[in-house]
Amino acid sequence: MVEWDPELNPEERQADASRGLMRSALFILATLTVTIVVSFSIASIFQGVGFSEMLLLFLRSTVGSTGSLLRTLTRMTPLLISTLGLIVAFRSGVWNIGGEGQIVLGAVVSTGICLFLGLPPPLATLLSLVSAFVAGGTYAAVAGYLKARWGVNEVVVTMMQNFVSLALLQYLIDGPWNWGKGLYPRTEMISEATRLPYIASPLSSAFIIALAIVAVLHFLLNRTVVGYEMRAMGDNREASYAHGIDVHRLSIFSMMVSGGVCGLAGSGLVLGQFFRAQAGISGNYGFYAIASAFIAGNRASLAPLSSLLIAFIYEGTLALTALGLPHRLCEAIVGVVFIAVLLPRGLKWLGGDR
C-alpha cells in the first residue's frame, strides 16, 4: 500500500501510486518465474522429465498458439470475476470465503431462467445475469447481516454456505432438472439464442463483462464516498465507527456486492462456457480467487494480472499431466506465489509496523 504523504500534490500522489502498482506487478511476475523454474527443476530430478521439455509443453499449451491463448483467457474469465467479487469484501475488512457457493448459486439461477421461464432470448440472457447477481448478493448479505447484527463470524457462515449451494446443485441435477442423458448428472443445454456470443471460440463475451467489472469496481473503491468508507473500514473498523461511518450497513453492502459479482461468474459459466448446470461447474474458482485477490493486493487494477497468472499456471500444469506430472502441481505453484507475496507483509506486521 502506498503511504500517504501530505507534501505531495495530487499529480505526485498519482505518480507514486502508479509506481507502487508497477512494483507490485513486477514482484508478482518475478516470484512466479522463480517458482516455476524451481518447481520444474525439482520435477525434472524426481520425475525424470527434461526441464526444457516441460517448459516448452507448458508454454505451448498456454500461449503457444491462438487456440491455447484463448483457452487460457477462457479459464481466466470466471476467475477474474470471482476475484473482483472477493476483493470488494476483503478490501472492506469482511471475509467472504463463500465465493464458490455464490458461483454455484449464480449458475443454478441462470440455468433455471434460461430453461424454464420461456422468455425471449435477449431478455432471458439479461435477466439471467441480473438474477445471478441478486441471488449471489442476497446469499452473501446473509453473512453480512449476521456479522453486523450479532457479530457472527462471516468466515464460518460463508464457508458453510458453500456446502449448501453445492448440495442444492447436486439435488437439482440428480432430480427435477436431470436431463436423463449422458454418463453423469446434468441439465439440458440452454438454447443457443440465450448464450453469450463468442469473441473467438472458446472465449465468450463474458470476458468483456469481466473487464467492465474491473473498471466499475476500481471506480467504486477509489473514486466514490462509499468506496472511501469501505476502504477505511477495511483499514480500521473501530476508528471508522468512531468517525461516524456506519460499519454495520457497510458490512452488509460489501458482502452483497461481493456475492453478487461472484454470482455473475456463475452466470457467465452457464451462458458462455458450459451452457448447462452440471457437477463441478464452479471449477474451484471461488477458492482460487482467494489466492488471486491476495496476490493482487486486494486491488481491482491488479486483479486481471493475478487472475491471468493463475489461469496460465492452471492450463500449463494441466498439459504437463501428459508427462506424468500431477495436476496438483498447479496448487503447489499458486501456494508458493501466494506465500511469497504475503511474506513481506507478514514480516512487516511482526516487526510492529501495523
Q: Tell me the pLDDT tens digit for each residue of 206-255.
A: 999 999 999 999 999 999 999 999 999 999 999 999 999 999 999 999 99
| Rounded distance between C-alpha atoms, residue 28 and residue 187, angstroms | 40
Q: Is residue 1 part of a domain?
A: no
The number of domains in the chain is 2
Report pLDDT digits (tens) over 132-189.
999 999 999 999 999 999 999 999 999 999 999 999 999 999 999 998 887 789 999 9
Q: Is residue 76 part of a domain?
A: no
The reply to whether 91 and 186 lie within a common domain is: yes
Residue 2: strand, helix, or coil: coil
Distance of CA 248 to the CA centre of its chain: 25
Q: Sort 149 into a burial class: Cβ within 10 Å, 0-12 / 13-18 / 19+.
A: exposed
| Rounded distance between C-alpha atoms, residue 350 and residue 336, angstroms | 20
| Rounded distance between C-alpha atoms, residue 204 and residue 201, angstroms | 7
The reply to whether 141 and 249 lie within a common domain is: yes
Domain span at residue 313?
Answer: 19-43+292-354
The reply to whether 166 and 106 lie within a common domain is: yes
pTM higher than the cut 0.85: yes
The count of C-alpha atoms lying within 13 angstroms of the C-alpha of 141, restricted to the half-sphere facing its C-beta, is 15
The reply to whether 88 and 134 lie within a common domain is: yes
The reply to whether 135 and 243 lie within a common domain is: yes
Residue 98's closest CA among 278, 261, 272? Answer: 261
Q: At which of 283, 306, 322 does a domain end?
A: 283
Report pLDDT digits (tens) over 300-341.
999 999 999 999 989 988 888 888 888 777 778 888 877 777
Which pLDDT belongs to residue 19? 73
Q: Nine-digit cell at 250?
A: 457497510
| Rounded distance between C-alpha atoms, residue 37 and residue 296, angstroms | 22
The reply to whether 309 and 332 lie within a common domain is: yes
| Rounded distance between C-alpha atoms, residue 51 and residue 321, angstroms | 14
The reply to whether 149 and 270 lie within a common domain is: yes
Q: Is residue 10 part of a domain?
A: no
